[in-house]
């Protein structure tokens, strides 16, 4: 087979660690291994029936053609209404872009604005794709460590110290993947004060988990506490997580009309437009019966508490109780240096994750993939039975280590 001359942007990117982990689980299962999969960042629920019915109706009515690049009017109107409720601000059609998932929208936003010499501040722990997306467009990801002692959140002091004349973006993810941490209104207001001193810096606010919260009040939003930043905040969201629609691939972004226009131009030359059928389903998701969200979040909360209690009882593990999303970030630094029964030293969190896969048949993702060594991520978007079995297997495997 002849070699392919790949562009540098491809060779410097990693494969998504979460995608790679999920593929490894599929391969092991195909080999006959029974794997308890705690890697998957998607709801285990099916898409609600009324949303699927809206898609069927759209097909029956012939909504199977190209749509405008920024989506069908009914979906844009639904997003406008939702954003008004979330932020208190009006977002007209020229401020809205719709794409094939929030991931695509983020990628295109960075493509439209990042080039050689541009810096993007990425607080760590971070969603695995942020740094590689920046580097794919010749930019430099400035990783800012946000320790557990500060709830894994970016502080005003750390933000101020990271900003340079070359800074284009700071990325905020709330609730966070992988930690589930949520910025309070006060914390967001304090960050906004720093941004006021640096008007060249924009904010990419990834809020894909904002409906999956265990707080007593809605998740605070940067625009709701600092509405004067409306033209400098690009907010991304979608229907994948809250409505169990990961496979429908429908996300959206709201922001400065000039940026939105650039994203739409890029989409017009790549995928043309999002799926027409998915758009109809998403419009129903955002405007229809919301009982699924309430019920699924209650289920996640119960699973969170179960998983936290079980893992917290295992000597050597220190899970962090999340405020949102459906992940536990589990401290495992005390296991680094431990020896397996055959004398192998576990020298990193990746070694620990591989050990749990081999000896507990439990699949997780190492914290170093998220920019935080000494942790691993567990998804509790799975059944309570799986969580209990996984915790039991993990406990047995860890007890076999020599420390």
Task: Tokens for 182, please give them.
Answer: 């949520």
Which pLDDT tens digit goes with each residue over 15-25?
A: 777 677 778 78
Which pLDDT tens digit goes with each residue over 97-150?
A: 999 999 999 999 999 999 999 999 999 999 999 999 999 999 999 999 999 999
According to the model, what pLDDT value does residue 263 have? 98
Computed from CA positions of residues 265, 271, 276, 280, in that sequence, does the dihedral angle turn out positive or negative? negative
CA–CA gap between residue 16 and residue 22 (Å, rounded)? 10
Segments of the chain assigned to CATH 3.40.640.10: 49-287
CA–CA gap between residue 129 and residue 137 (Å, rounded)? 13
Give every residue of the chain whose pLDDT is below 70, as ranges: 18
Out of 3.40.50.720, 3.40.50.1360, 3.90.1150.10, 3.30.465.10, select the CATH number for domain 12-41+292-399. 3.90.1150.10
Segments of the chain assigned to CATH 3.90.1150.10: 12-41+292-399
According to the model, what pLDDT value does residue 308 have? 98
CA–CA gap between residue 75 and residue 28 (Å, rounded)? 40
Check: CB of residue 245 under 8 Å from CB of residue 215. no
CA–CA gap between residue 280 and residue 63 (Å, rounded)? 8
CATH code for 49-287?
Answer: 3.40.640.10
According to the model, what pLDDT value does residue 349 have? 96
Cα-only R_g, the chain: 21
Q: How far is CA 296 from CA 16, 107, 300, 382, in A?
A: 27, 29, 6, 11
Q: Tokens 């320790």 sit at which residue?
A: 147
């Amino acid at each position: 087979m002849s070699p392919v001359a790949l562009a540098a942007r491809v060779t410097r990117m990693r494969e998504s660690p979460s995608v790679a982990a999920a593929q490894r689980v599929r391969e092991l299962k195909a080999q006959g291994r029974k794997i308890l999969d705690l890697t998957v960042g998607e709801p285990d629920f099916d898409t609600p029936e009324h949303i699927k019915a809206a898609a069927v109706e759209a097909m029956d009515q012939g909504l199977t053609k190209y749509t405008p690049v920024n989506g069908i009017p009914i979906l844009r109107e639904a997003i406008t209404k939702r954003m008004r409720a979330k932020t208190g601000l009006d977002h007209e059609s020229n401020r809205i872009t719709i794409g094939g998932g929030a991931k695509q929208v983020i990628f295109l936003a960075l493509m439209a604005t990042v080039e050689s010499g541009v810096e993007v501040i990425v607080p760590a722990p971070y969603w695995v794709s942020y740094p590689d997306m920046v580097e794919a467009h010749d930019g430099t990801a400035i990783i800012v460590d946000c320790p557990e002692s500060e709830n894994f959140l970016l502080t005003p002091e750390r933000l101020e110290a990271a900003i340079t004349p070359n800074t284009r973006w700071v990325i905020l993810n709330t609730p966070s993947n992988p930690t589930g941490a949520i910025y309070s209104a006060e914390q967001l207001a304090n960050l906004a004060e720093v941004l006021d001193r640096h008007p060249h810096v924009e904010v990419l606010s990834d809020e894909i988990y904002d409906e999956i919260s265990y707080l007593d009040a809605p998740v605070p939003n940067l625009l709701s506490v600092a509405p004067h930043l409306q033209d400098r905040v690009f907010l991304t969201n979608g229907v994948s997580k809250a409505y169990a629609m990961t496979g429908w691939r429908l996300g959206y972004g709201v922001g400065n009309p000039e940026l939105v226009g650039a994203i739409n131009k890029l989409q017009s030359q790549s995928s043309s437009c999002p799926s027409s059928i998915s758009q109809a389903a998403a419009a129903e998701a955002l405007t229809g019966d919301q009982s699924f969200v309430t019920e699924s979040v209650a289920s996640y909360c119960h699973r969170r508490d179960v998983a936290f209690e079980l893992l917290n009882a295992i000597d050597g593990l220190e899970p962090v109780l999340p405020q949102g999303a459906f992940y536990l970030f589990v401290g495992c630094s005390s296991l680094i240096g431990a020896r397996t029964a055959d004398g192998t030293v576990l020298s990193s969190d990746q070694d620990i994750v591989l050990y749990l896969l081999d000896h507990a048949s439990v699949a997780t993702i190492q914290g170093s993939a998220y920019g935080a060594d000494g942790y691993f991520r567990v998804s509790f978007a799975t059944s309570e039975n799986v969580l209990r079995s996984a915790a039991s297997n993990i406990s047995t495997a860890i007890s076999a280590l020599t420390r």
